[in-house]
A and B are shown apart, each in its own frame.
Chain A
Amino acid sequence: MSTLQFLMDGFSIAFQWQNILFAFVGVLIGTAVGVLPGIGPMSGVALLIPVTATITSGMPTEAAAASSIILLAGVYYGAMYGGSTTSILLNTPGESSSVVTTLDGYQMARQGRAGAALSIAAIGSFAAGIVSLIGLVLLAEPLSNVALQFGPAEYFSLMLLGLAAVSGLAGKSMTKALMMTVFGLMLGTIGIDAVSGIARFTYDLPILYSGLEFLTIAVGLFALGEVFKTILEREHEDGTIAKIGRILPTRQDLKESAKPIMRGSLLGFFIGVLPGAGATLASFFSYIAEKKFSKTPEKFGTGAIAGVAGPESANNAASGGAMIPLLTLGIPGSGTTAILMGALIMYNIQPGPLLFDDHPEVAWGLIASMFVGNLMLLILNMPLVKVFAKIIETPKKYLLPIIIAISFFGVYAVQYTTFDLLLLLACGILGYLLVKNDFPVAPLVLALVLGPMIENNLRRALTISNGEFMIFFTKPLSLILLIVAAAWLLIPLMLKLKGRTIVLNEED
């Protein structure tokens, strides 16, 4: 049977009435999970596993497995749609993958363009969902092999490229951006080192063994920092900021977003395929890439719609891409996909190289249902934009306590420890002080994600090669990535130098 035939069979499963219902319930809960910062996609999916198991208990195993995984996957990609909402409206990222959306999304909301930002996020997510599904259908097999080729050396070079691109997140001062990057890298070293098993900067406190939680720090720096700023600097001029213009993006907005959405979708999909890299990194890379491609990079950080469209497409595409290693290799690329895998195993269906042969109805039914689910999400989300956008009209004196409450609930619901609440508070104060003195916090957050990955993969690669650094240059993929990273840093410098010489020549 051809792929198309399998896909058609998949659609016949996805279009069974109960599966349409399951997909709808899944994406609905997913949207809620994404919007409410109290609960992330991972805990959302985990909590629903026993519920779906109960609902489907009367069905034959295969059909039950297909139906539950359709619902659970709906929660997963539905959360990616919803995740942008609080980032844009309240500067409070609900999921780590929408941290970067706060940079321009929140600025747009302050200018009264919340509607446009939210709609473009939904449209971008839809486009990305479809792109990644087409990729999943056509490229699952070859890409799973590429994902395997990605060893420690390749990961190291990819992450180094990410770090080289950190300049894209700099505000006014490059030096300050670099200082923040180093600070983030240092924070990333706290905890038990995964390569040697040595505890670093833990001071024998077990709570520090697993390191600092990324989301806690991001919410503290962005959301609480902004709250403190608003309170301390007494921004009373509510009315001027809160005015909402139109809900739908203008033609100009759409034109500016089309290419970022396409690029974000492709980038996100390919990064999503790599286990361990994931949606957060995809959104950061997309943002940095858009800034690089933009003709007006200075607009980024002040409400550029491309800065919302790109990352939001990328994180959604990444969740589609992450399905490839999960389904074809049985390798979960992220915490949420690990839980999805656990759900499949509960039904005695082992994701892995045999899944498409042994249980085609589960695999293809899921893929087909994701087409249906993405369409549902678009239809569901567009009217919601109007409703959500109203939130920003709430007077500050009501809005600020809500943001604080959401931040605390959100962090506690994910971490269950009071330590993280203290950390959240400390990061809030730090975030305020940093922003006040023009230190950009985004490089810190990116470095915190990248730092441990760079370090671990560097050391894994060197262990494999017995300490030989040539491993990074002899592996072709790694070499290409390193060349791109070098070009990224050197070309602007060379252009600058060249520009100067030309000027000098003219003076001669």
Chain B
Amino acid sequence: MFKKWISVSLAGILAMGLAACSSEESSQAGETAAADYPERGLTIVAPSGAGGGWDLTARAIAKTMNNTGLIEEPIMVENKPGGGGAVYMAEYATKEVDNDHMLLVKSPPILINNNKAEGNSPFGYKDTTPLAQLTRDYGAIVVRADSEFQTLTDVLDAVKADPTAVTFAGGSAPGSMDHLVGILPAFEYGIDPKSVKYVSYDGGGEAVAALLGDNADVIATDASTIGEYMKSGDVRVLAVSAPERLEGELSEIPTFKEEGIDTEFTIWRGIFGPKNMSDTAYNYWSEKLEELSNSEEWKQELERNGWQSEYKNGEDFEEYLKNQEQLIVELLTALDMQK
């Protein structure tokens, strides 16, 4: 009995929250939308569990689209975890290939997983229709505040002299994002990337802990999360992987290019449609996403999550993915980890 009562009250609380959401939506939703698309509810899939970057992005898109009334059809967010996104990727590229109502949020692993030998995902961005890039982040090369390294080239020279003397760390396995960001400058500097000593931890937080606890000399991590540690004086950021200087608290930090290493790496997040997406659906989403990226609500949503806005439409995004894929294949080949 009591158990029932608890679940009822839990449901009630959830319903109250939902009711609060939906009343807001209906009051803000105004005019009518396009005629034949969408015919029914839309779904954005986050190919991970609840709470990660993909999930938060998918929920932010769904919420803002509905709240602003850009799309009146309810947008659901579904979590499909497994294999670092590879499990759902396979389903998306085969079973959902004609489903105009199913969209997908992804980031660089869509390129990386498709091209590396181990843990390979047989499907990549070519098996989807890229609709837009929405956010961006960059990699940062970080050392402890009391580190002997003052610049990125100090680190690289030390690695060149003796690769066993410098320990790199990052929050993910070799052949994945943090590793590639960390290795990239060394690779471009002419160091054999296989010789770089890289220790992988479970997530960026643990990598920062390893750096602070003197269990790593250099870490590669997301530029957006490191600012707080820099402000507290615990760490120094040596360089960021952005094409030009960042705004805000990292504005003093040089880019790879300024340090004489001619490369860049963007940690983007974007939204994809199925490969055989109809023109109607493609045009519908292109238009809505463009409007979304210009809306005030989206800017607030980005700010709330600490994300940087970068909008690329479908065509530019696809072109960009092609270039990024080349870089990644090159890097994986140098690491002997390519497919």
Residues in A lying within 8 Å of B, measured CB to CB? 25, 28-29, 31-33, 35-36, 42-43, 46-48, 50-52, 54-55, 147-152, 192-199, 202, 204, 206-210, 275-276, 325, 329-332, 335, 338-339, 342, 345-348, 350, 352-354, 384, 387-388, 391, 415-417, 419, 460, 463-464, 466
Tell me whether A54 and B21 are in contact in the complex, defined as CB-CB below 8 angstroms, given that A32-B7, A416-B79, A416-B81 are known contacts: yes
Does B284 count as interface, using CB distance less than 8 angstroms?
no
- Closest beta carbon of chain B to A341's beta carbon, Å: 8
Contact A210/B82 with A35-B3, A197-B174 known, Cβ cut-off 8 Å: yes
What residues of chain B lie closer than 8 Å to A198, measured between beta carbons? 118
| Known A210-B83, A330-B228, A332-B205; further 5 A-B contacts with Cβ < 8 A | A28-B6, A197-B119, A275-B205, A329-B209, A339-B50
Q: Which residues of B contact A32 (CB under 8 A)?
A: 6-7, 9-10
Instruction: Return chain A residues, CB-CB under 8 Å to B150.
Output: none
Interface positions of B from 209 to 268, Cβ below 8 Å from A = 209-210, 212-216, 227-229, 231-232, 234
Residue from the list A148, A347, A354 in contact with B213, Cβ < 8 A:
A148
Q: Does B30 contact A (CB under 8 A)?
A: no
* In the complex, B28 has a CB within 8 A of chain A: no
Given A28-B9, A50-B21: A464 in contact with B206 (beta carbons within 8 A): no
Shortest distance in angstroms between A196's beta carbon and chain B's nearest beta carbon?
6
Distance in angstroms from B252 CB to nearest chain A CB is: 18
- Sample of 29 A–B contacts (CB below 8 Å): A25-B13, A28-B10, A42-B50, A46-B55, A48-B17, A50-B17, A50-B21, A51-B17, A147-B209, A148-B209, A152-B210, A152-B215, A195-B174, A197-B173, A206-B82, A209-B83, A209-B87, A276-B202, A332-B203, A339-B50, A345-B306, A346-B304, A348-B304, A354-B228, A387-B1, A416-B81, A417-B87, A463-B167, A464-B167
B133 to chain A, nearest CB (A): 22
Q: Report which of B6, B63, B214, B305 forms a contact with A35, defined as CB distance below 8 A.
A: B6
Chain B residues with CB under 8 Å of A194's CB are: 173, 200, 202
| Cα–Cα, bound, A290→B229 (Å) | 40
A46-B173 in contact (CB<8A): no
Q: CB distance B17 to A331 under 8 Å?
A: no
Answer whether A384 and B17 are a contact pair too, CB < 8 Å, given A416-B81, A466-B164.
no
Q: Across the interface, do B50 and A197 meet the contact criterion of CB distance under 8 Å?
A: no
For the complex, is B34 an interface residue (Cβ under 8 Å from A)?
Answer: no
Bound: A416/B48 CA distance, A? 10
CB distance from A373 to the nearest CB of B (A): 16
Contact among A43, A209, A352 with B228 in the assembled complex (CB-CB below 8 Å)? A352
Q: Which residues of B contact A338 (CB under 8 A)?
A: 51, 203, 205
The answer, among B49, B56, B198, B199, for a CB contact under 8 Å with A342, is B56
| C-alpha spacing A142/B184, complex, angstroms | 37
- Which one, B6, B50, B82, B197, contacts A46 given CB within 8 A? B50
Whether A42 contacts B118 by the Cβ 8 Å rule is no
**Which of B7, B208, B305 interacts with A331 by CB under 8 Å?**
B208
Chain A residues positioned under 8 Å from B7 (CB to CB): 32, 36
Residues of B contacting A387 with CB < 8 Å? 1-3
Shortest C-beta distance, B258 to chain A (Å), equals 27
Q: Are B79 and A209 in contact (CB under 8 A)?
A: no
Q: How far is the CA of A399 from the CA of B293 in the complex (A)?
A: 53
A274 to chain B, nearest CB (A): 10
A206 contacts across to B, CB distance below 8 A:
82-83, 86-87, 89-90, 121
> Given contacts A50-B59, A387-B2, A388-B3, are A415 and B212 in contact (CB under 8 A)?
no
Chain B residues within 8 Å of A, Cβ to Cβ: 1-3, 6-7, 9-10, 13-14, 17-18, 20-21, 24, 49-51, 55-56, 59, 63, 79-84, 86-87, 89-90, 116, 118-121, 164, 167, 173-176, 179, 197-203, 205-206, 208-210, 212-216, 227-229, 231-232, 234, 303-306, 337
- Please tell me if the beta carbons of B305 and A346 are within 8 angstroms of each other in the complex: yes
Inter-chain CA distance A35–B206, complex, in Å, is 31
User: Would you give the shortest CB distance from A54 to chain B, in whole angstroms?
Assistant: 5
| Of B1, B174, B213, the contact of A150 (CB 8 Å cutoff) | B213
Least CB separation from B213: chain A residue: A148
- Most A CB atoms within 10 A — which of B13, B176, B215, B227? B215
Bound-complex Cα distance A42 to B24 (A): 27
A195 near B212 with CB under 8 A, answer: no
Cβ of B177 to closest chain A Cβ, rounded Å: 12
| A335–B81 CA distance with the chains assembled, in angstroms | 14
User: Are B205 and A331 in contact, with the CB atoms below 8 A?
Assistant: yes
Is B234 a contact of A415 with CB atoms below 8 Å? no
B193 → A minimal CB distance (Å) = 13
A195: chain B residues within 8 A (beta carbon): 173-174, 199-200
Residues of A contacting B21 in the complex (Cβ-Cβ under 8 angstroms): 50, 54
Q: In the docked arrangement, what's the CA distance between A52 and B17, Å?
A: 8
The complex places the Cα of A192 from the Cα of B49 at a distance, in Å, of 18
CB pair B86 A151 closer than 8 Å? no
* Cβ contacts under 8 Å, B56 to chain A: 342
State whether A354 touches B199 (Cβ < 8 A): no
Q: How far is the CA of A199 from the CA of B205 in the complex (A)?
A: 24
Which chain A positions have C-beta within 8 A of B50? Answer: 42-43, 46-47, 339
In-complex Cβ contact of B119 among A43, A192, A339 (8 A) = A192
CB-based contact B206/A151 at 8 Å = no
Q: Determine if A354 and B3 form an interchain contact, defined as CB atoms under 8 angstroms apart.
A: no
**Closest approach, in angstroms, between the C-beta of B209 and any C-beta of chain A?**
5
Once the chains bind, are B14 and A51 in contact (CB under 8 Å)? yes
User: How far apart sit A330 and B229, CA to CA, in the bound complex (Å)?
Assistant: 9
- Please report the C-alpha to C-alpha distance between residue A459 and residue B121 in the assembled complex, in whole angstroms: 26
Q: Do A29 and B13 touch across chains, with their CB atoms under 8 A apart?
A: yes
List the A side residues contacting B55 at CB < 8 Å. 46
Q: Which residues of A are found within 8 Å of B87, using beta-carbon distances?
A: 206-207, 209, 417
Please give, as numbers and ranges, the residues of chain A lying within 8 Å of B228 by CB-CB distance: 330, 350, 352-354
Residues of A within 8 A of B231 (CB): 354
Which residues in B have their C-beta under 8 angstroms from that of A330?
Answer: 205, 208, 228-229
**Could you tell me if A353 and B229 are in contact, using CB atoms closer than 8 angstroms?**
yes
Q: Which residues of A contact B206 (CB under 8 A)?
A: 275-276, 331
Q: How close is B29's CB to chain A, nearest CB, in angstroms?
A: 17
The residues of B that contact A415 with a CB separation of less than 8 Å are: 81
- Given A43-B50, A331-B206, A387-B1, does the pair A209, B9 have CB atoms closer than 8 Å? no
A452 to B224, CA, bound (A): 30
The complex places the Cα of A354 from the Cα of B227 at a distance, in Å, of 11
Cβ contacts under 8 Å, B209 to chain A: 147-148, 275, 325, 329, 331
In the complex, what residue of chain A is closest to B211 when comparing beta carbons? A148
Tell me, in angstroms, the Cα distance from A36 to B50 when the chains sit together: 18
In the bound complex, CA of A501 to CA of B10 (Å):
64
What is the minimal beta-carbon distance from A397 to any residue of chain B, in angstroms?
20
Please tell me if the beta carbons of A31 and B234 are within 8 angstroms of each other in the complex: no
Contact of A192 with B51 at beta-carbon distance under 8 Å, contacts A207-B82, A276-B202, A353-B229 already known: no
